[in-house]
């Protein structure tokens, strides 16, 4: 439901190194050439691209549009440090470049031009998923190039009979801890710092930090490492910390971006896709990056879906597709029932495969109650013979009270400096007699690897090392 890939599985990625040392990855990930491949943060998967007219698009046409988009995206990373970037946001820059590079040429077939724009619109949606944002218009252009993509072909955890997916890694890490040291489902109400707190009946030792839980339990500490998501901090930092955070840190929390990227899993009795297909991409032919997308979420939320990844191997997962959807449409999806999501996804897939499968029988008349987003105008009937998925499972990261979204991005109006400010421990005064009371970790505190699990892990190690340095006794003076 959460993290999917190891992005950039190579020796510079601590997640990859840990997973390898625990023997959690398959033989493909260990291959030298896989570790050296430059994937640019995009998992390269064998794919087929379906369009809203119910046909599989020409791989060459799709590839050419993708190549153009990736070229423009690479050029968007070149403005780091520029005093006057050509646009405030990545989205505005990309749209201006697309308008310049894909003009309506005289003699050029209108359909071919429109299709190219539609594929580029789909590329923008994919980038929204990768960046965890509603729109690339919200992502700042100047700091965009600070994010670092590690080499390596993105891979997943193949899983075993006892472990599945990413959770196999923390399971192994936690197994080394003493029994009873890790408390789960222990919600924290407030963190009081800059105090002088004593254990009941013991006045000999006081602590600067007091953590109060929602069940009334309290913990006293010299140091607390706070790793809650930026989405939670945006909503609760004023009351979560007592006294409140310094103005500089509160403003950094406010300026940085935090968006939603959700998954929709669909389980099928039998696959309708070919065995070699790993990704089913989606292109809505009436869309263009040069036009404003519809604001009618109820009618069009499903159009933000970038497509479906085929979960591998089927022997372990069954026949399961995993759809990805970001932004306000993704948040709207969270408000629907499972039945509504399943019904809309069925209609989407029938639309996309409409002419891909031969349907000898006339389509049966459908009777339906409210199917969100399935208005006849926005979605043709398509291929009625495609069986509906037998079950649906989806993440709801925006509704989850302790996340309120998925991961961070550097928004227009913010910069990498805000990430560094968020990462700074408190109190700020270096001469404070009780240093490092509050330390901050999590993906949103890593300047070059934000939004990733390796960024989150490295940020935790960074704060642990701060404490190691503090606790290291000074070396005794050499004897003369």
Q: What is the pLDDT of residue 237?
A: 98
pLDDT, tens digit, for every residue of 25-75?
A: 988 888 999 899 887 766 667 789 999 999 999 999 999 999 999 999 999
What token pair was written down for 208?
Answer: 């600067």
The pair of three-digit structure tokens given for residue 59, joined into one six-digit string: 């791989």
Helix, coil or strand: residue 204:
strand
pLDDT at position 162, please?
52
Please report the pLDDT score of residue 165 as a whole number.
85
pLDDT confidence of residue 440: 98
| Residue-level pLDDT at 103 | 81
pLDDT for 306-324, tens place per residue? 999 999 888 888 999 999 9
Per-residue DSSP letter, 411: B
Give the tokens for residue 274: 């070919």
Q: What is the H or E stretch that residue 282 is in?
A: strand 279-283
Helix (H, G, I), strand (E, B) or coil at 344: helix
Q: For the chain, first and last CA: distance in Å?
A: 62
- CB-CB contact of 227 with 402 (8 Å): no
- Three-class SS of residue 73? helix
111: left (phi over 0), alpha (psi -120 to 50) or beta: alpha
Cα–Cα nearest to 136, from 114, 120, 115: 120
Determine the Cα–Cα distance for residues 87 and 77; give it in Å rounded to an integer. Answer: 12
Sequence-distant (6+) residues with CB within 8 A of 239 are 190
Query: Looking at residue 30, what is its pLDDT?
Result: 85
Sign of CA dihedral 22, 24, 26, 31: negative
Q: Domains along the chain?
A: 1-173+224-358+372-471 (3.90.660.10)
Structure tokens at 307: 């497509």
pLDDT at 207: 98
Nearest to 307 by CA among 45, 65, 90: 45
Residues of the chain with pLDDT under 50: 161, 356-377
Tokens of 138: 């919200």
What does each C-alpha distance from 123 to 159, 272, 440 come to in angstroms?
30, 24, 34
Place of tokens 């993708």: 66
**What would the two tokens of residue 261 be?**
């990227």
Of 137, 211, 152, 156, nearest in space to 24 by CA: 156
Instruction: Tell me the whole-structure pTM to 2 decimals.
Output: 0.91
Residue 206 and residue 217: Cα distance in Å, rounded? 18
CB 280 within 8 A of CB 321: yes
Give the model's pLDDT for residue 354.
86
């Amino acid at each position: 439901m959460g993290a999917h890939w190891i992005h950039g599985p190579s020796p510079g990625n601590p997640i990859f190194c840990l997973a390898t040392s625990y023997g959690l990855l398959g033989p493909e990930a260990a291959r030298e050439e896989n570790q050296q491949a430059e994937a640019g943060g995009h998992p390269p998967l064998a794919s087929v691209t379906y369009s809203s007219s119910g046909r599989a698009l020409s791989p060459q046409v799709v590839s050419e549009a993708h190549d153009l988009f990736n070229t423009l995206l690479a050029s968007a990373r070149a403005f780091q440090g520029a005093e006057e970037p050509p646009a405030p946001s990545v989205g505005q820059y990309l749209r201006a470049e697309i308008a310049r590079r894909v003009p309506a040429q005289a003699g050029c077939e209108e359909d071919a031009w429109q299709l190219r724009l539609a594929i580029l619109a789909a590329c923008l949606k994919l980038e929204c998923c990768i960046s965890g944002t509603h729109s690339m218009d919200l992502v700042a252009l100047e700091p965009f190039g600070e994010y670092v993509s590690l080499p390596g072909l993105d891979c997943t955890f193949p899983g075993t009979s006892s472990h599945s997916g990413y959770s196999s890694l923390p399971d192994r890490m936690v197994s080394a801890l003493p029994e009873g040291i890790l408390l789960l489902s222990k919600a924290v109400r407030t963190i009081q710092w800059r105090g002088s707190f004593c254990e009941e009946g013991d006045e000999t030792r006081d602590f600067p930090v007091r953590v109060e839980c929602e069940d009334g339990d309290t913990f006293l500490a010299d140091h607390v490492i706070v790793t809650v998501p930026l989405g939670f901090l945006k909503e609760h930092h004023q009351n979560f910390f007592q006294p409140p955070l310094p103005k500089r840190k509160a403003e950094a929390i406010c300026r940085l971006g935090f968006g939603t990227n959700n998954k929709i899993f669909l389980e099928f009795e039998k696959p309708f896709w070919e065995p070699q297909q790993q990704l089913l991409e989606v292109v809505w032919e009436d869309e263009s990056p040069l036009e404003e997308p519809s604001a009618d979420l109820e009618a069009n939320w499903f159009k933000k879906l970038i497509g479906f990844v085929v979960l591998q191997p089927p022997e372990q997962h069954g026949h399961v597709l995993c759809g990805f959807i970001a932004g306000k449409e993704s948040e709207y999806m969270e408000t629907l029932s499972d039945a509504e999501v399943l019904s809309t996804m069925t209609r989407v897939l029938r639309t996309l495969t409409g002419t891909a499968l031969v349907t000898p029988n006339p389509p049966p008349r459908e009777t339906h109650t409210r199917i969100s987003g399935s208005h006849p105008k926005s979605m043709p009937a398509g291929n009625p013979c495609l069986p509906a998925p037998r079950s649906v499972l989806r993440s709801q990261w925006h509704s989850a009270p302790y996340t309120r979204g998925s991961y961070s991005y550097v928004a227009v109006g913010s910069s990498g400096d805000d990430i560094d400010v968020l990462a700074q421990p408190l109190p700020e005064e270096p001469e404070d007699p009780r240093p490092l009371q509050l330390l901050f970790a999590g993906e949103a505190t890593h300047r070059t690897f934000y939004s990733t699990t390796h960024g989150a892990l490295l940020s935790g190690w960074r704060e642990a090392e701060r404490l190691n340095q503090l606790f290291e006794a000074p070396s005794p003076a050499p004897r003369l």
